[in-house]
Copies of this chain bind each other. A is one copy, B any other.
Amino acid sequence: MKNILGREIPEFIEGYGEIAQYKGSWNKKLGKIKKDSSFKVILPGEKKLFKELKKLMDSLELKDGMVVSFHHHLRNGDFVLNMIMREIQERGYKDITLVASSIFPCHKELVLMMEAGIITGIYSAYISGPVAKAISQGKLQKPAVMHTHGGRARIFETGELKIDFAFVAAPSSDEYGNINGVDGKSACGALGYAHTDVEWAETVVVITDNLVSYPNPTIEINQTNIDYVLVVDAIGDPKGIVSGTTQVTKNPIGLKIANLTSKFIAESGYLKDEMSFQTGAGGTSLAVAVEMKDIMKAKGIVGSFASGGITGYIVDMYKEGLFKSIFDVQCFDLEAVKSIKENKAHMTMSASMYANSNNKGCVVNMLDVVILGATEMDTNFNVNVTTGSDGYIMGGSGGHSDTAAGSKCCIIVSQLVNARISVIKDNISTITTPGETVDVLVTEKGIAINPLRKDLIEKFENSSLPIKTIEELKSIADKLIGEPSPIEFEDKIVALVQYRDGTILDIVRKIK
């Protein structure tokens, strides 16, 4: 059947089950928490500490078909996912469901495990590199479930999926599993995505390369849900953990878009004291932060908070007094890590607090303006950040559709035409974020406001900014470039785009 966005979604998908169809971004008004588990309590005198990986793995009751989880705060420098999966592979287990909050190029060895039927299912919010490509090539037995950062918490809270073993990389831990991400050689900053794993998994193993004496004097996640603590030589490669790719764009087109965006915000009515703000870590998004800093300083605006994945650019704004606090779910660079240690109002938050729609109000609900990217958009403002223009999986929502749904003004920044491809298409390959939650598209050729936002359209009626309809922007692009050759897909469904409320927004098919 076709869902309300016009996407043809089967009612049942092999390897996933019955499909709950997407029915609108805030259709679910009842939250649900369901848990029923028993566990071995830790008695006084009992130890959690292991110093040998193999001994630890021997003592876990591993089994075929188990669900194992990992967080992605070590990003493309992570050693832990591969380390544990190799051990599982060596022991001959198969049919594993891998629940990794994100998957990066450094995890390429998982492809062989997918081909061998060791890993048959994947849940993730963002997948890039060889694993993403292999999924698009149909190498995973079951369709990958591509959820949102906030939706990941809901999956466990509702009992939709039960984690058997959570493996939690920790830059600092004591022998009882009090952990933080800001100390040690593998410091990565906030541990926002690990909170749910620790809270909901049957068995939780902390893996650290920096054992400190009890009690850890800085605790982001505490001992009460930790079963084991494993000490290893290194949990990651610092160069990959904070990758240094989060730099303001030098591309003049990107800078022009950022400049238009900041002018749009300034005129929109959202630029005022107590405003809250989030921006992604893409080069153009960061350029918006730099522009915003100047405007806020010039106008003497003091915002309430900045949120999200945090970079040094946001820390700078905080230090200059432009925001009173920071809510941080993950750090993108060392400036952000350092700031958590130094600034009390630079607060870490769990992914559930950040973006989960299955609770009594998450931070994105309080967000005024969010700046996000797009690989494709259609004229209904639906956004794709899951698949590339070649149809292959190359990312995923992360917090994209969470922040779009929660914020008062969601602005997509994108080049209209890039490498002879227009961002605006009649049919986009995949819908990651529904258009009803997207308010504005800013490109180098003009700004389009979603017709649903009559208030904004009215506000900009006499603006000197280049306001256009999205159809006008599309025809500008279409004149510059030819018709793109359509991507050919096979029937096999390789991934599901699961909206934050658990409904299925879209499906991704195998590349032909």
Q: Enumerate chain A interface residues (CB-CB to B < 8 A).
A: 26, 28-46, 48, 176-177, 204, 213-215, 217-219, 222-227, 274, 304-305, 324-325, 327, 344-345, 347, 349, 352-353, 356-366, 405-408
Contact = CB atoms under 8 A, between A and B. Distances in A.
A305 B214 CA distance: 8
A46 B362 CA distance: 12
A360 B29 contact: no
Nearest to A307: B215
5 contacts: A32-B38, A33-B35, A46-B361, A215-B305, A215-B363
Given A34-B35, A224-B352, A324-B217, A42 B406 contact: no
B42 A37 contact: no
Contact of A39 (B226, B227, B304, B360): B360
Nearest to A347: B219
A228 to B, nearest CB: 9
Q: How many copies does the complex hold?
A: 2
A274 B213 contact: yes
Contacts of A213: 274, 304, 324
A83 B39 CA distance: 40
A34 B36 contact: yes
Nearest to A157: B35
Given A176-B366, A217-B324, A366-B214, A357 B34 contact: no
Given A34-B36, A35-B35, A217 B345 contact: yes
A40 B36 contact: no
A226 B366 CA distance: 15
A227 B360 contact: yes
A31 B40 contact: yes
A358 B225 CA distance: 10
Nearest to A365: B44
Contacts of A366: 44, 176, 214-215
Nearest to A228: B360
Contacts of A40: 29-31, 360
Contacts of A217: 324-325, 344-345, 347
A39 B44 contact: no
A319 to B, nearest CB: 15
A42 B361 contact: yes
Residue from the set A349, A364, A405 with the largest chain B CB neighbour count within 10 Å: A349
Given A217-B345, A366-B176, A223 B32 contact: no
Nearest to A405: B44
A407 B44 CA distance: 8
A224 B327 CA distance: 14
A212 B187 CA distance: 32
A41 B500 CA distance: 13
B327 A215 contact: yes
The 9 A-B residue pairs with the shortest CB-CB distance in the complex, in nearest-first order: A42-B361, A217-B345, A44-B365, A224-B359, A31-B41, A35-B35, A31-B39, A42-B360, A32-B38
Contacts of A344: 217-218
Contacts of A324: 213, 217
Contacts of A36: 33-36
Given A224-B352, A353-B222, A405-B44, A215 B29 contact: no
Contacts of A33: 35-39
A310 to B, nearest CB: 14
Residue from the set A177, A218, A361, A366 with the largest chain B CB neighbour count within 10 Å: A361
Contacts of A32: 37-39
